[in-house]
Structure 1
């Protein structure tokens, strides 16, 4: 992870100074890092006495995210032309507007992006802070907070630790080059974040039905590419039987990646009669973002996803075909 530069901090400050009102928005189906980053930016704006609205298309279906839904509205409020001219849009944990969902018209709003995904778009001339080496967008927001507001208070520390813990898999995804990430985490803990309670919050409270669904998902799993790839799926019937609350696909990814010889795992869900979502996970050497990008998705080298029109029976062979090129 890179430490954000003085010029990046100044770029963000100048963006704030240039507008009288702000919309903060992250990707639909928000995870802990998206929520954490959105709220973290709001704390900075609150300190600077700048009005803001926090928007997310939802749904807030993960057990650990439900308590935060009250801080968000589902769409951008109506704005006059003058309002649009005075409003800045801050996109966090995402850089592709198509991933925001149906939040309203963002085309005419001056935009600043804070993101850490490998497939993020942006250039040195863009109004953005993008670092694909950062394990979480909340790390970038934390550095902005400390540079603009100062030392963290407990509320900010709890919020930002939530995002960091989520996207690092409670630190198990970090490698030997992550000393500065742990330094950020140490400052969060010093300010009052509780690792023990956060771990329970992220991993606990899952409905019993999610464990039944996990068994069904594993039963659907098949190996491809000489055993290097595992693909599983969830049908609409599975979803109807076990519900959508507290889905825990991360447990499935962990179980499959722990198998000998497995280098990548795919989980495909039939969301509607004509559309699917898919998540990709891999070990160090396999870049699943390449496959996600092929299908219009994106993400990180070892964790990516996509949404696409189609059915399980036709989409899964397409996905396997693309993985065969890299496996």
Structure 2
């Protein structure tokens, strides 16, 4: 499939790259690394990226080319790190080209492209982008190495999560052969301001331990936000709050719920063990990985928590 993807790229002159809403480091890193590869192949590249991308992820000059929409037509559209068009930012732009390629690592991917390359075994889409560089026989440049490191490091929790494989480390080692100053990227990604700390305090206040203390759930409602609405700044402060819950001793599943508008919450789920949170998320219309998933849930917060408790406990005999 790698060779087929390269064939489609080579036969296209104008290429649009998309990724999921509220992009994380894997999404942004993969988008920019792929874009740099395509430009080295003398392709005309356009990025359409959710403007809610964190400023701290804009680690290289390529980020200045991000746009939030386009009215152009393209020879090819490539969607990265997104399992479903419901979560794809600019999904209407899939129609702006006759052909589309989906490159992803989510086991729940719905194969919505003309060509689909889904590889759940890799820890980050950046690993697949590195395979494309190798197949194209094009060297990874200095800036591309930074974007690829952002991809690998963020989707693996700085290489701490169980999705890390020997291949992940080998690919990271190749990046270190290109440049060895990646510690600055990790430090930048881990920094946060006082606003995030204030939200963290509220998240801790709302923690509930369920299912024999194997499940940790917390939430924030609109009334908890400084501006009483979910805006771009607030959303950026709340990224990765679910990982605070996953680090509680004995917890196997963590769920963080953030209210986006009246009666509507977005759930982020993480698993520390054998429990498949993608299956749980799918029950509520979402999806993701076995150990990292999400979904949208409507209702009153305590009713939502009760529904989650019932589903998680029933699926896993807790």
Q: TM-score, normalised by structure 1?
A: 0.87
CA shift, 1:164, in A, is 0.5
Q: Does the 8 Å CA contact 1:23/1:90 hold for their aligned counterparts?
A: yes
Change beyond 3 A, Cα 1:73–1:308 = farther
Match of 2:268 in 1: 279
Select which of 38, 56, 73 maps to 2:67. 73
**Distance in 1 between residues matched to 2:263 and 2:137, nearest whole Å:** 47
Whether 1:198 and 2:169 are equivalent positions in the alignment is no
Whether 1:208 and 2:191 are equivalent positions in the alignment is no
Whether 1:20 and 2:13 are equivalent positions in the alignment is yes
CA RMSD of aligned residues (A): 2.3
Q: SS state of the match for residue 42, structure 2?
A: coil
Whether 1:182 and 2:182 are equivalent positions in the alignment is no
Select which of 259, 264, 277 maps to 1:270. 259
CA shift, 1:172, in A, is 0.3
**Distance in 1 between residues matched to 2:65 and 2:28, nearest whole Å:** 10
Q: SS state of the match for residue 170, structure 2?
A: helix
**Distance in 2 between residues matched to 1:249 and 1:231, nearest whole Å:** 15
Change beyond 3 A, Cα 1:296–1:70 = farther
Q: Does the 8 Å CA contact 2:59/2:185 hold for their aligned counterparts?
A: no
Change beyond 3 A, Cα 1:249–1:48 = closer
CA shift, 1:230, in A, is 1.1
Whether 1:217 and 2:211 are equivalent positions in the alignment is no
- Equivalent residue runs for 1:123-134 within 5 Å: 127-134=115-122
**Distance in 2 between residues matched to 1:165 and 1:284, nearest whole Å:** 20
What runs of 5+ residues in structure 1 fail to find an aligned partner? 1-7
Q: Does the 8 Å CA contact 2:18/2:89 hold for their aligned counterparts?
A: no
Higher deviation after alignment, 150-159 or 131-140: 150-159
Change beyond 3 A, Cα 1:122–1:193 = farther
Select which of 299, 306, 310 maps to 2:288. 299
The one of the two structures with greater contact order (alpha-carbon pairs below 8 A, sep at least 6) is 1
